[in-house]
Amino acid sequence: MRTRISGTKRLSTLTALFLISILILTSCSSPTPTAPPPAAGQAEHSTDIYEGLNLVVPNRYDPPIEMSSVTSVDATVKFLEGDDIHNNIWTRTYASLLGINLRYDWVVDASMYDQKLGLSVNSGDIPDMFVVDSAQFLTYYEAGLLADLTDAYEAEASDATRDILSQDPIAMKVATIDGKLLGIPLTDASVTSASVLWIRQDWLDRLGIPAPTSMADVLEISRRFTEEDPDGDGVDDTIGLAVTKDLFGAIASLQGFFNGYHAYPGIWFERDGSIVYGSVQPEMRDALLALQKMYADGQIDREFGVKDINQVTETISQGECGMEFGVWWNPYHPLNLSQANDPDAYWQAYAIPSIDETPAKSQYTSAIASFLVVREGYEHPEALIRMVNFWTDNIVRSQDDNVRNLFLGNLDNPDVVLYKYTPVVLWEPTAGIKTGRQLREALAKRDPTGLNREALWRYRIMQAYFEQGTKEAWVEVATNGPNGSVVILEDVLGDRGLMNRFYGMPTPAMAEKMPTLSTMESEMITKIIMGEPIDQFDRFVETWHQMGGAEITEEVNQWAASNP
């Protein structure tokens, strides 16, 4: 399986990008709304800070209970003055409002967490509550170390908790083994890994090319962007499509291109009653041939095979390419750099077009990569459910800015991201889609009434674009605006998406053999694009099956049979 960034990490980075963009944009376009001063850290162990806040508080343990845990904090995480990981708004709130004294036995950098947890658990030192990845989840379950949370969840999970966990169709499934709920999955928006097609709209307009409605149109756009001087400088200095040497990822990826040919590299999906691996299906062939021709015609960088994401970002920012398949947030990075160098640059999102009459589906992968678990034998398994409820009821569902400022941080102090101090962080899988819809409605009515503070910020940024001509504000318009990328994600969640059918932990043969097979796969794709004969693909398919692919496929099908 391809390595991917964990959901939480991806979102945190993204949140940071948003905050930065919003700050820059608001400072040059519209007045920043006044925020109350940061309240956290003001009154240690005093409950004054909660006064006047509309909080939903679960039953408080009286007397308070003890809960040991372990956690990771990166060196980049900043704290408010006087706070640290052991004493902050979250530890104080768990103690004061929930009656849970959360104590971290150790704290390490995120890169060390898995190893340190393994050592702890092996030495019999098992925390009361902790975070595990998918592989640890199964290992610790099989070792009998995890508490069954089924009854505690049934008895105590709030409506918001249940709703958030049901928005992702596989969240509860993947946390349930042998009919027992053994952990709370840390949810995020899976659909954000789906590809959209980003095109320099100003180039399309300059050359008088209409919006693409098929992959044939995409190929033609690529040709004209390469041959017809779309930037109008009289120099032959542009290419059609940006691709990195990694071939896949969030930026300048080939995922969406393949999807346009109904090919789904790197994921598993159902075909004729069994689960198959996308990269060895015949649909890959035509897509590879099309890419090979684009490369031969100079529409893809001659050097793409050695260019990493930073070098491709440079190509994009210098205005040297006109299309890339990426994800919905690309205007925040790296497409913003293109506009920064060329004020008229505008990248428009398009749904993945199809090579034929059948609409293309954009592939995506479950975002669930980790779980909150409780030690078997811990006296208060329901305490975890209460902490989850506190998060979902008050943070995810609250529209109260004072609550968000107190527990998440505020935009006046964007370096301090308070949720990084607690492991109990579940994102609402469809939140971005909902916000996008609210924003589009508000824009259509020209009335922001009812938007929460974050949405209101986004609304004002778009207003700055439409009403004051603030061109930097295009990033928000291209994502959450009337024809923005978020609209496309809604369709992907409908019938224009295909989620990776396999979401379990790696099967034995997969763990052992997939890394080699994936390397072979990348080399095959790169070589064919660069001109090697297409029968290399047929040979790859054969070798793939022989070198473990057939065995992995069998294991995946067995897994699927018991995970319908």
> 360: which 2 tokens?
């293309």
Binding Ca ion (rule: CB under 5 A), the pick from 84, 109, 142, 233 is: 233
Q: Which stretch binds Ca ion (CB under 5 A): 191-199, 233-241, 249-257, 513-521?
A: 233-241
Find out whether 501 and 560 touch, Cβ atoms under 8 Å.
Answer: yes
Does residue 444 bind Ca ion (CB under 5 A)? no
Q: Which stretch binds Ca ion (CB under 5 A): 16-24, 176-184, 210-218, 224-232?
A: 224-232
Does residue 454 bind Ca ion (CB under 5 A)? no
Does residue 229 bind Ca ion (CB under 5 A)? yes
Cross-strand pairs, 153: none
Of the candidates 346, 349, 329, the one whose C-alpha atom is nearest the C-alpha of residue 211 is 349
Query: Which is closer to Ca ion, CB of 134 or CB of 238?
Result: 238
Q: For residues 58 and 372, what is the distance between their CA atoms, to the nearest angstrom?
A: 19
Does residue 283 bind Ca ion (CB under 5 A)? no
Query: Which is closer to Ca ion, CB of 206 or CB of 285?
Result: 206
Query: Which is closer to Ca ion, CB of 323 or CB of 388?
Result: 323
Of the candidates 169, 196, 195, the one whose C-alpha atom is nearest the C-alpha of residue 501 is 169
Query: Which is closer to Ca ion, CB of 230 or CB of 504?
Result: 230
Does residue 235 bind Ca ion (CB under 5 A)? yes
Binding Ca ion (rule: CB under 5 A), the pick from 105, 125, 159, 237 is: 237
Does residue 217 bind Ca ion (CB under 5 A)? no
Q: Which stretch binds Ca ion (CB under 5 A): 29-37, 79-87, 143-151, 232-240?
A: 232-240
Query: Which is closer to Ca ion, CB of 301 or CB of 393?
Result: 301
Contacts of 350 (CB under 8 A, 6+ apart): 196, 197, 198, 199, 211, 212, 488
Least distance (Å) between residue 201 CB and Ca ion: 17
Q: For residues 166 and 181, what is the distance between their CA atoms, to the nearest angstrom?
A: 14
Cross-strand pairs, 326: 196
| Alpha helices, DSSP H, located in 261-400 | 283-296, 309-317, 335-341, 382-391
Contacts of 285 (CB under 8 A, 6+ apart): 534, 537
Binding Ca ion (rule: CB under 5 A), the pick from 128, 188, 202, 231 is: 231
Query: Which is closer to Ca ion, CB of 224 or CB of 262?
Result: 224
Least distance (Å) between residue 322 CB and Ca ion: 11
Q: For residues 13 and 287, what is the distance between their CA atoms, to the nearest angstrom?
A: 32
Least distance (Å) between residue 232 CB and Ca ion: 7
Q: Which stretch binds Ca ion (CB under 5 A): 228-236, 283-291, 376-384, 489-497?
A: 228-236
Does residue 318 bind Ca ion (CB under 5 A)? no
Does residue 228 bind Ca ion (CB under 5 A)? no
Query: Which is closer to Ca ion, CB of 75 or CB of 235?
Result: 235
CB half-sphere exposure, 468, CA atoms < 13 A: 13
Block residue for tokens 């579940």: 426
Query: Which is closer to Ca ion, CB of 41 or CB of 230?
Result: 230
Query: Which is closer to Ca ion, CB of 174 or CB of 239?
Result: 239
Contacts of 356 (CB under 8 A, 6+ apart): 262
Give the distance, in angstroms, between the CA of residue 57 and the centroid of all CA atoms in the same chain: 30
Give the distance, in angstroms, between the CA of residue 169 and the centroid of all CA atoms in the same chain: 16
Q: Residue-wise over 84-94: b if at least 16 C-beta within 10 A, else e?
A: ebebbbbbbbb
Q: Which stretch binds Ca ion (CB under 5 A): 231-239, 271-279, 384-392, 512-520?
A: 231-239
Does residue 75 bind Ca ion (CB under 5 A)? no
Please give the sequence-ordered ranges of beta strands (E in DSSP) within 380-521, or none if there are none: 497-499
Task: Tell me the residue nearest to Ca ion as measured from the CB.
Answer: 229
Least distance (Å) between residue 291 CB and Ca ion: 23
Applying CB under 5 A, the residues found at the interface with Ca ion are 229, 231, 233, 235, 237
